[in-house]
Amino acid sequence: MPGKGLLIVRQRSLIAITAALAAGALTLTACGSRDEDKGGSDAGGGGTTVVIGVDAPLTGDLSALGLGIKNSVDLAAKTANKEKTVPGVTFKVEAKDDQAQPSSGQANATTLVANKDVLGVVGPLNSSVAESMQKVFDDAKLLEISPANTNPALTQGTEWNGGTKARPYKSYFRTATTDAIQGPFAAQYVFNKAKKKKVFVIDDKKTYGAGLAATFTDEFKKLGGKIAGTEHIDPDTKDFSAVATKVKSSGADVVYYGGEYPQAGPLSKQIKAAGAKIPVVGGDGIYSADFIKLAGASGTGDLATSVGAPVEDLPSAKEFVANYKAAGYKEAFEAYGGYSYDSAWAIIEAVKKVVEDNDGKLPSDARAKVTAAAQNVSFDGVTGKVSFDEFGDATNKQLTVYSVEGGTWKAIESGTYTG
Amino acid sequence: MNELPQQLVNGLLLGSMYGLVAIGYTMVYGIVQLINFAHGEIFMTGAFGALTVYLYVLPDGTTMWIALPLMLVGAVFVAVTVAVGAERFAYRPLRTAPRLAPLITAIGLSLALQQAVWAWYPNAKSARTFPQIEGGPFHIGSVTIQTGDIFLFLAAPISMAILAYFVMKTRTGRGMQATAQDPDTAKLMGINTDRIIVVAFALGAAFAAVGGLAYGLKYGQIDFRMGFILGLKAFTAAVLGGIGNIYGAMIGGVVLGLAETLATAYIADVPGMSQLGGQSWANVWAFVLLILVLLLRPQGLLGERVADRA
pLDDT in tens, B160-209: 999 999 999 999 999 998 998 888 899 999 999 999 999 999 999 999 99
H-type helices in chain B, by residue range? 4-32, 39-52, 64-86, 100-120, 147-169, 171-181, 183-188, 193-219, 226-241, 246-266, 282-296
Distance CA B33, CA B99 (A): 8
Asked if the model's pLDDT at residue A3 lies above 60, the reply is no
One-letter amino acid for residue A212 of the chain: L
Which residues in chain B have their CB less than 8 angstroms from residue A262's CB?
A: 126-127
Asked if the model's pLDDT at residue A119 lies above 70, the reply is yes
CB spacing of B111 vs A10 below 8 angstroms: no
Which residues neighbour A139 within 8 Å (Cβ) at sequence distance 6 or greater?
A: A113
Which residues in chain A have their CB less than 8 angstroms from residue B266's CB?
A: none
pLDDT at residue A41, as a whole number: 40
pLDDT at residue A384, as a whole number: 82
For an interface test with A, the pick among B120, B142, B264 (most A C-beta atoms closer than 10 Å) comes out as B264
Which of B3, B37, B298 shows the shortest C-beta gap to A7? B298
In which residue ranges of chain A is CATH 3.40.50.2300 found? 45-177+312-388, 180-307+400-416
Q: Cβ of A243 under 8 Å from any chain B Cβ?
A: yes
- Sheet of A408-416: strand order equals A226-232, A198-203, A254-258, A280-282, A303-307, A398-405, A408-416
Q: Cβ of B284 under 8 Å from any chain A Cβ?
A: no
**Which chain A residue has the Cα nearest residue B109?**
A24
In Å, how far are B73, B236, B237 from B302, measured between CA atoms?
Answer: 32, 14, 12
Instruction: Give residue-wise pLDDT tens across range A384-409.
Output: 889 999 999 988 888 899 999 989 99
**Which chain A residue has the Cα nearest residue B242?**
A10
Is the ipTM beyond the 0.90 threshold? no
- Of the pLDDT bands very low, low, confident and very high (cuts 50, 70, 90), residue A313 is confident
- Of the pLDDT bands very low, low, confident and very high (cuts 50, 70, 90), residue A109 is very high
More reliable by pLDDT, A32 or A122: A122
Average pLDDT, chain A: 86
**Quick one: what percent of chain A has pLDDT higher than 70?**
88
Q: Cβ of B245 under 8 Å from any chain A Cβ?
A: no
pLDDT at residue A13, as a whole number: 59
- β-pairing, B143-145 vs A254-258, is unpaired
Asked if the model's pLDDT at residue A304 lies above 60, the reply is yes
Q: Where are the domains of chain B?
A: 16-228
Q: Which of A147, A157, A260, A158 is nearest to A212 (CA)?
A: A260
Q: Cβ of A234 under 8 Å from any chain B Cβ?
A: yes
Please compute Rg for chain B using Cα positions: 20
pLDDT at residue B3, as a whole number: 84
CATH 3.40.50.2300 fits A180-307+400-416, yes or no: yes
Instruction: Give residue-wise pLDDT tens across range A146-171.
Output: 999 988 889 998 888 777 888 999 99
Q: Cβ of B220 under 8 Å from any chain A Cβ?
A: yes
Q: Which of A51, A117, A146, A189 is nearest to A388 (CA)?
A: A146
**Which chain B residue has the Cα nearest residue A246?**
B265
pLDDT at residue A39, as a whole number: 39
- Of the pLDDT bands very low, low, confident and very high (cuts 50, 70, 90), residue A6 is very low
CB spacing of B279 vs A242 below 8 angstroms: yes
Q: Classify burial at B210, counting beta carbons within 10 Å of its beta carbon; exposed 0-12, middle 13-18, buried 19 or more.
A: buried
CB spacing of B107 vs A24 below 8 angstroms: yes
pTM over 0.90: no
CB spacing of A266 vs B220 below 8 angstroms: yes
Q: Cβ of A418 under 8 Å from any chain B Cβ?
A: no
Which of B127, B228, B229 shows the shortest C-beta gap to A294? B127
- Of the pLDDT bands very low, low, confident and very high (cuts 50, 70, 90), residue A419 is low
Instruction: Give residue-wise pLDDT tens across range A249-275.
Output: 999 999 999 999 999 999 999 999 988
Architecture of the A45-177+312-388 domain: 3-Layer(aba) Sandwich (3.40)
Which residues neighbour A381 within 8 Å (Cβ) at sequence distance 6 or greater?
A: A175, A316, A338, A341, A342, A345, A346
Q: Cβ of A414 under 8 Å from any chain B Cβ?
A: no
Q: What is the average pLDDT across A182-197?
A: 93
- Of the pLDDT bands very low, low, confident and very high (cuts 50, 70, 90), residue A279 is very high
CB neighbours of residue A85 within 10 Å = 16
Which of A20, A63, A204 shows the shortest C-beta gap to B107? A20
Which residues in chain B have their CB less than 8 angstroms from residue A298's CB?
A: none
Low-confidence ranges of chain B (pLDDT < 70): 1, 304-310
CB neighbours of residue B38 within 10 Å = 27
How near does any CA of chain A get to the CA of B127, in Å? 7
Asked if the model's pLDDT at residue A185 lies above 90, the reply is yes
State phi, psi for A407 to the nearest 5 degrees.
85, 5
CB neighbours of residue A315 within 10 Å = 6
